[in-house]
Structure 1
Amino acid sequence: MRVGGSGYRSTIMTLTGSKTFVTLGMFIIDEFSFTDSAGSTTSDYAAQQIGGGGTYAAIGARIWLPPRDIGMIVDKGYDFPSDIESKLKLYGDDMWLFRSQTQAQTTRALNIYKGDQRGFQYLTPRIRITPRDLVKTPLERPRSLHFICSPARASVILSEVPEIHGWNPFVIYEPIPDRCIPEELPALVAILPSVDVLSPNAEEALSLLTTPVVHPLSRSSVEQAAARLLELGAKDTVIIRSGALGAYVLTRKAGGRWIEAFWTESDASKIVDVTGAGNSFLGGLAAGIELNGDIFEAAFYASVSASFVIEQSGLPTVMPDNSGHWNNDSPGRRLEALKTRQKAR
């Protein structure tokens, strides 16, 4: 089942940007707290780690595309650790636009794990990024634009796009988790016609729609949520990322299809840390659309990108031998293996 064959590709290729994919997601230095349900510390973690949804999205695209095709702004506060820039450059100098913020701290956040519950809080003021920040930089007018924020913030971002002459990006939007609440639904509905791909995860989608979140999640509840979001005015495509269940891709023209996760619950030893998996999925999706043009096929690329991110804490390793391998494995091999597995079922 295809979305108009090359329809997505033809839409993107008519745009004039020099970059294939740019994310407006922030660079964040992550810190961590692990406790049990009673509040006792259960494990130690790296004192600081490269993070941010934008960073993971950029890496998800980088698994498939060369650095010159990807872009992200990295704001360097006065406390920016010197080793982080060199670590980021291992993925390619051309990906990152470093900006010096001499009067501000680097954005930091605390990831709180308490039993099975997860929390997140910023430790410093956020340095937000908008389309205006891309003007007169190498990141100006990319063919695909990704952002993670509240629906209200998304409206501000989308209002700036027409200011940039000749730019009509393919928009990939994921609502920020803590704003996936029923009160935000009207603001979301208002921007849906301007979003090419809307992609919350399953719990976020159900929460937005006031649907009780029942574990384990069922495919039927995810499908119903996607259909409802399409009814509410999504421009063309809703993708609900659903962990081990895979991802449900629903389009107006070609209906819906499940794309399997590369690593499933039976591969528990391979699933180390799911932080950033959804962000990297969407970076991989943008790369897949660029390379293939079909939204369902692109979702296979996205699933493979997520598979590399969850194998360790932090970012995956790109092999330095120019082989195109990550974590000592080939993305292309995983792509074919995933397609073959899905066809067999």
Structure 2
Amino acid sequence: MKFGMKVAATVLVSALLSGTAAFAQDPVKIGVVLPLTGPTAGYGKDGKMGAELALEEINGAGGILGGRKIELMYDDEKGTPQDGVAAVQKLMTQGRVKAVIAGMNSSITLAESAITKNKVLHVNPGAQADAITEQGSPWLFQVNNTASTNSTIFHKYLIGTLKPKTIAYMGENTEFNKAVLENLKRSLEGSGTKLVEVANYDASTTDFTSIVTRLKAANPQMLYVVDAYPARTAQIWKQIRQQGGFPMEAHSTGTVQASAIVPAEGAMEGVVTGDIFIAEGATGEMADFIKKFQAKNNVDPNKVSLVVYEAVKLIAAAMDKAGTDSNYDLISKTIRDNVWKTPRGSLAFDAKGRAKAPYFYIQVVKGKDVALRESFEVK
């Protein structure tokens, strides 16, 4: 009888230990919401390649939290707030993910962040609108610069270096456009440069001929276009070129990728823009990232690839350092209290969860890509 009880106890202990070991090896699930279809599907493709490279590196190095692997679960936001919300909800309720990476379009990210607030760790890799991190969500972090940070540097360059006497402005009715326009107006105060015309349009607009005609009638020295959708950006610049263009031309920061430049078929040549990433002249960690990305995907990375890569790496490193995948207060404190090594250099996050890229690059469209014009250290 005693022998039987001893055997039973041994079996029970073994089962418990086996269960503990199995639990220790359960993967840490991270949801990744990207535009895999729809008008910005190119961003989704680029972002997924960045995420997969990060996944390969993390798991190849032994995972996190004592050997647990990372598992990425993808869903499609299709370029609309409704689909973004549905994707986040599905990953949280059905996928039971421990963190969500979501944020390419500012309006969509605002809708998604209302769902994740106080429920799960949320890292926004790409969307720029300041309003996203103004909500006071303690578990929300933004890897990309805010629109105001990027715009302040860019507008200083446009006004102080290019020195147009007059600017005409056009952009889609979005939170991103609103943030950029407000920053431009502040930047123009006391500069001697005047904003002579502003034209906003809805997402459904496809013919910009009348808008361009109206802007040309104002006779500005510079046209400034603010739009984050590649296909529409290409269409806008084609229609601008059909009407002869403008003496100086600029496009919003962080939004000019090959997915817009190539279909524009030369119409964006010479357009000035800016971003937190450029492959030209890369050294150190950035050069290593580019080399590894090229080896894995047979294409060059872009800013979207980079920030999604960084988002995956940040979540994994913070969970590992905090020693937990579910204590979001501790993970968030860990993110804010530390400096994180990335291909761009060291990133630190402020009280609102915002990171600032160490450098910002003024670029000009040249051929099928952008070329470096000037670089700035972000203070």
Give the TM-score taking structure 2 as reference length.
Answer: 0.32
Q: Give the number of the structure whose alpha-carbon radius of gyration is greater.
A: 2
The structure richer in helix per residue is 2
